[in-house]
Amino acid sequence: MKKILLNPNPLRDINLDCTKKVAAFLKENGVETFISGEIPDASETGAQICDFDSAAKSAEMIISFGGDGTLLHTANRVADIGVPVLGINIGRIGYMAELESNELSYLRNILDGNYKVEERMMIDVSVKRNDHVLYNKIGLNDAVVLKTGIIMTADMDIYADNMFISRYSGDGVIIATPTGSTAYSLSAGGPIIDPMSRNITITPVCTHALTAKPIVLSYKRVINIVPQNPQNAAICVSVDGDSGFELRHGDILTIRTSEKVTRLIHVKNTNFYDVLYSKLSDRRYS
C-alpha cells in the first residue's frame, strides 16, 4: 500500500485528532498520505494537500473518518473510480465502519497485506419528468420517498418491470439495497438481508393498509414509482440521506441495480452477524 487518501468529517473528527494519528502512522511506514484541501485545517494533519477527485483516481485506498453518513458520502463520491474504502467510526453507531477510533492498530494489517475487499451492490436512481431526466444519483444504502408535509399522505403506484405491485398510501416508501436493509428500512419494519446478497427491498413507511408489507425483489428488477398526489402535495426522494429532490404528480422515479459497486475494506476477523449483534442489539444500551 503506497498511496492512501484520507477523508475526515471535521464535525465528527474534532480537531482532526484521529486523522492526525493515522497520517503520522502511515508516514512513519513510508506510505504517501493525502488529504483534500476542502477540509478545514487539513495542513495540520501532516498529509499532502490535494484535490480530492484527482487523488482518488490514483489512490489505492480511501480512509473515511466519521459516521455512516461520512462513509456513504465517500462511497458515492468514488463510485465511478472503484477505489476501496476503509471506514473508521467517530460517530454514534457507525454500523458500516470497519474500525473504531480506538482500533487503529489494525492499520498494520493493511500495510502487511492482511485484509479483504468486499463488494457491495449499489442502485442508480433517476427522475423523469415530461420525458426529460432531471435527477440522477447513485446510492449504497437506499432511496427514500417521503411526504414533506404533516397532513397529507404520500400516495404512489409502484411497478417492477412494468408490472403493477401496489399503491401505497402513507408516509412513504424505502427502496433499499442489502447494505441499506439494516438502516432506515430496518427501523420501518423491513427484513435484515445479508449484504453479500443481491436484492432490492421495498419497505412501506406507516402505510394506511393492513396488507402493506415489505417486498424483496431480484436485483434484476427495475422499479418505477409514480406519485399520485395532487399537484400541491410535497413528496421528496432522498438517496443515501442527500438533500433530496421534490417529486411532482406524474413524475417517474426509477430505481435499478447499478453496474458500479462499493468496495469496502475489512481487516478484522469479524463477520456480518458479529457486527449486527454488537451494533444493533438492544444489549448495547444495557
Count CB-CB contacts under 10 A for residue 254. 17
Mean pLDDT, the chain, as a whole number? 92
Taking only the tens place, the pLDDT of each residue in 104-124 is 999 999 999 999 999 999 999
Residues 9/35, Cβ–Cβ less than 8 Å? no
pLDDT of residue 151: 65
Look up 240 and say whether it is catalytic: no
Nearest alpha-carbon partner for 258 in 124, 120, 73: 124
- Rg for the chain, CA atoms, rounded: 20
Give the pLDDT mean for 87-109: 91
Residues 253/145, Cβ–Cβ less than 8 Å? yes
Q: Which of 68, 124, 155, 240 is catalytic?
A: 68
pLDDT of residue 175: 98
pLDDT of residue 211: 82
